Each structure stands twice: as structure tokens, then as C-alpha cells.
Amino acid sequence: MQSTDSLRELNAKLLAEIAKLRKENAEIPELREKLLRFAEVEAENAKLRQIIEENARRDSENAEL
């Protein structure tokens, strides 16, 4: 059977690990929000790239006229 001191040491390590995990879990909503914002920006960038390509095509067509 483990001694009281070794059990206390193990308990302290587990409490430290729990505190670390709680801190990481607190960051999850913030990271989800950042990821959502990133996805929105990427979608907007894709739209803008398409607009740029369409404008370049129209410019080329207009130059031919």
C-alpha cells in the first residue's frame, strides 16, 4: 500500500494537471470564435478573388472592343 506522503504527492500532481486542463478548456470558446472568424474571412477572400478574375476578364473583353 502506498504511503501517505506518496499519495499526497500524487494528489498534488493530479490537482496541478486538473488546473492546467481547466485553463485549456477555458480557452476553447475563444479559439472556436477565432476559427469561425477565420472561416468567414477565407470565404470573403474567395468571393473577392472571383470578382477580381471576373473584372480582369471583362477588362480583357473591353480592350478587344
Please, what is the average pLDDT of the chain? 95
Q: What pLDDT digit, counting tens, does each position of 34-62 carry? A: 999 999 999 999 999 999 999 999 999 99
pLDDT at 64: 83
Q: Is 48 exposed, middle or buried (0-12, 13-18, 19+ CB in 10 A)?
A: exposed
The pLDDT score that the predictor gives to residue 1 is 67
Q: Which amino acid is at 31?
A: L
Please indicate, yes or no, whether the overall pTM of this predicted structure exceeds 0.75. Answer: no
23 falls in which pLDDT band (50, 70, 90)? Answer: very high
Does the CA dihedral 41-45-46-48 come out positive or negative? Answer: positive
Which residues 6+ apart lie within 8 Å of 10 measured at CB? 2
Side chain identity, residue 55 = N
Whether residue 65 has pLDDT greater than 90: no
